Amino acid sequence: MRPFAFHHADSASQAFRLGSGTGQGQVDASVQFLAGGTTLIDLMKLDVLRPQRVVNIDALKGSLQRIELSAEGLYLGALTTMAAAADHGEILDSYPVIAQSLKLAASAQLRNMATLGGNVLQKTRCTYYRDPSWSACNKRSPGSGCAAIHGFNRNHAVLGIDDTCISQYPGDFGVALMALDAQVDLIGSRDSRRIPFARLHRPLEGQPHIENILRPGELISGFFVPAGPWARRSLYVKVRDRESYEFALVAAAVAVDLDGETVRQARIGLGGMAYRPWRAEAAEQMLMGKPLNEASAAAAATVALEGARTHGYNDYKPELARRTLARALLGAKALTLAGQVS
Amino acid sequence: MTQMTRREALTAGIAMATVGLEPLRADAAPAPKSDPSAVRVRLEVNGELRELSLDPRVTVLDALRDHLHLTGSKKGCDQGQCGACTVLIEGQRVLSCLTLAVAAQGKPIETIEGLSRADGALHPMQQAFIDQDAFQCGYCTPGQIMSAVACVTEGHAHSDGDIREYMSGNLCRCAAYPKIVAAIKQAKLEMERA
């Protein structure tokens, strides 16, 4: 690990000031905020992230750690740990896809450390990105190429990619946030703003080294998940190489509002498949007003994977994703909700 | 000749190797007394306040092992993937290899060395690992035991399936998993009785 200066930020304003040199999402950012540290310290040890200054924001926990449920929706403070949200009974009841996406991620130790704000900014697990001995990586060194395109790309992305990068967004919680139309609160020295979570991660557009729209010094302060009528009938299906403590090959976050068998509204997020947290809006539209059954679920899944581009070792992924998504949709339909006659 | 433990022999070996290297330094400038980049770090380990002068890069794991000579917590992968370095910080099981010592100040740290009672009586989880033969090479065991204690106190040890799920962050390359599950079930009963 390269040397760095360590700072404790005692307040948000101090964090903004100390972090004003951040180019978050960029590998050459000279300042990095430290929360749970599970991605940052790991990637600093691997010499992928090389900050000259690390700003500890642990002291902001007092204001950024709350979980609140109201009639309008669910608020999750950015410094809430993954474990706290995963084990929260009311979240599991009212927003099951949120709790499940967190419980099925990482390990008990990592969930105790990692915060929700850091979780959505988690870096890709692309082995070529994580190992600087591979010189070609446009995410690490813009313009150097992509070693994964002709490399061992079994778990690389097939959606939202281009010829500069096929790395996969590895997170689960972010996929659930996409499905539930969540918003993200950002705080900075100039102002605070609330934006759709779908806008936090930038589309690739040939610039894999700039991952999100955070301004220098800006911090995620929390997430707001609106209480849609689909939120309770939601679930997260994650398919992976081993049963626990593993990243997704494919994951589907689905939420549906049904009138009998007929879909009033559907919300679909895909994990493990795309360059950034992915929402399958065309598939959602297709299901609206139709009965939810094997045929319609399969048809929606086909639409969700349109445009998928594979690179050899990951040729299996679109079909696995179609089947996973169809299973998730039918699983959501089969849920018996408390207080509701099935 | 007095008997030496393996740890004493290794420590003595390191000391001798250091002495052996001394002449090579003769021409070099004298080493500065303290590293200018070092920071003062106060850690509360097993109820004791310890003050250290550390490079900010030092993790809790390296502070424990190399600076406080508490070598019970093990370095497996050093990348947050194996769980051998698991300790409790503020009562929560975490990975000490991904925690900077400088960021752990003011938070009580509990290691495997602090688990047994002052009179030497083993914690029920330690005894259960012995009773159930829940280790082979033993390298992952301190991390397994710290994680297992937390698994029970969190209320995540209801069934075999639960235990396997909530212990998945601790890898055992000898694959003693069935016996680790048995040990946790045994200790859970005793911890609940206590």
What's the confidence (pLDDT) of residue B7? 61
What's the confidence (pLDDT) of residue A22? 67
What's the confidence (pLDDT) of residue B19? 44
SS3 state of residue B65: helix
SS (H, E, C) chain A: CCCCEEEECCCHHHHHHHCCCCCCCCCCCCEEEECCCCCHHHHHHCCCCCCCEEEECHHHHHHHCCEEECCCEEEEECCCEHHHHHCCHHHHHHCHHHHHHHHCCCCHHHHHHCEHHHHHCCCCCCHHHHCCCCCCECCCCCCCCECCCCCCCCCCCCECCECCECCCCCCCHHHHHHHCCCEEEEECCCCEEEEEHHHCECCCCCCCCCCECCCCCCEEEEEEEECCCCCCCEEEEEECCCCCCCCCCEEEEEEEEEECCEEEEEEEEEECCECCCEECHHHHHHHCCCECCHHHHHHHHHHHCCCCCCCCCCCCHHHHHHHHHHHHHHHHHHCCCCCCCC
- Which residues of B are less than 8 Å from A34 in CB distance? 100, 103
Q: Which of A211, A321, A336, A205 is nearest to A273 (CA)?
A: A321
What's the confidence (pLDDT) of residue A18? 87
User: CA of A31 to nearest chain B CA: how many angstroms apart?
Assistant: 15
Residue A113: is its pLDDT beyond 60?
yes
Instruction: State the pTM of this model.
Output: 0.93
Interface test with chain B among A53, A54, A57, A109, by most B beta carbons within 10 Å: A109
What distance in Å separates the CA atoms of residue B18 and residue B4, rounded to the nearest whole number? 19
Share of chain A above pLDDT 90, in %: 90
**pLDDT by residue (tens digit) across B10-24?**
555 554 444 444 433
Q: Which of A261, A263, A258, A270 is nearest to A325 (CA)?
A: A270
Mean model confidence pLDDT for chain B:
88
Of A189 and A322, which is predicted with more confidence? Answer: A322
What's the confidence (pLDDT) of residue A164? 98
What distance in Å separates the CA atoms of residue A285 and residue A297, rounded to the nearest whole number? 12
Residue-level length of chain B: 194
**pLDDT by residue (tens digit) across A68-98?**
999 999 999 999 999 999 999 999 999 999 9
What distance in Å separates the CA atoms of residue B11 and residue A200, rounded to the nearest whole number? 51
Residue A180: is its pLDDT beyond 70?
yes
Interchain contact, A41 vs B37, CB within 8 Å: no
Tokens 């559907």 sit at which residue?
A266
**A57: nearest CA partner in chain B:** B103
Tell me which of 3.20.20.10, 3.10.450.50, 3.30.390.50, 3.40.50.2300 is the CATH number of domain A234-334.
Answer: 3.30.390.50
**pLDDT by residue (tens digit) across B62-79?**
999 999 999 999 999 999
- Bridge partners, B109 (sequence order): B45, B89
Residue A101: is its pLDDT beyond 50?
yes
Residues of B with CB under 8 A from a CB of A: 37, 39, 55-57, 59, 78-80, 83, 86, 92-95, 98-100, 102-103, 147, 150-151, 154, 156, 164-170
What distance in Å separates the CA atoms of residue A243 and residue A220, rounded to the nearest whole number? 31
Residues of A with CB under 8 A from a CB of B: 1, 3-6, 34, 37-38, 41-42, 45-46, 54, 56, 58, 83, 106-110, 112-113, 243-245
Tokens of B122: 């083993």
Task: Please work out, in degrees rounded to the nearest 5, the angle formed at the alpha carbon of residue A77 by the alpha carbons of A76 and A79.
Answer: 130
Buried b / exposed e along A216-228 (16+ C-beta atoms within 10 A):
ebbbbbbbbbebb
Interchain contact, B39 vs A42, CB within 8 Å: no
SS (H, E, C) B85-114: CEEEECCEEEEHHHCEHHHCCCCCEECHHH
**pLDDT by residue (tens digit) across B131-167?**
999 999 999 999 999 999 999 999 999 999 999 999 9
What distance in Å separates the CA atoms of residue B75 and residue B58, rounded to the nearest whole number? 13
How many Cβ atoms are within 10 Å of A241's Cβ, its own excluded? 10
Residue A24 pLDDT level (bands cut at 50, 70, 90) = low
Residue A20, exposed/middle/buried by CB under 10 A (0-12, 13-18, 19+)?
middle
Within 13 Å of residue A192, how many CA atoms lie on the same side as its CB?
Answer: 8
Buried b / exposed e along A296-312 (16+ C-beta atoms within 10 A):
bbebbbebbbeebebbe
What distance in Å separates the CA atoms of residue A332 and residue A260, rounded to the nearest whole number? 13
**pLDDT by residue (tens digit) across A35-57?**
999 999 999 999 999 999 999 99
What distance in Å separates the CA atoms of residue A249 and residue A284, rounded to the nearest whole number? 22
* Domain segments of chain A as ranges: 234-334
User: Would you give the distance in Å from CA A329 to the centre of its chain?
Assistant: 20
- Which residues of A are less than 8 Å from B39 in CB distance? 6
What distance in Å separates the CA atoms of residue A24 and residue A213, rounded to the nearest whole number? 8
Mean model confidence pLDDT for chain A:
95
**pLDDT by residue (tens digit) across B14-56?**
544 444 444 333 344 444 455 668 999 999 999 999 999 999 9
| Candidates B39, B59, B93; nearest CB to A6 | B39
Interchain contact, B169 vs A54, CB within 8 Å: no
What distance in Å separates the CA atoms of residue A155 and residue A69, rounded to the nearest whole number? 36
| Candidates B55, B98, B154; nearest CB to A41 | B98
- Which residues of A are less than 8 Å from B94 in CB distance? 109, 112-113
User: CA of B47 to nearest chain A CA: how many angstroms apart?
Assistant: 21
| Candidates B57, B103, B169; nearest CB to A108 | B169
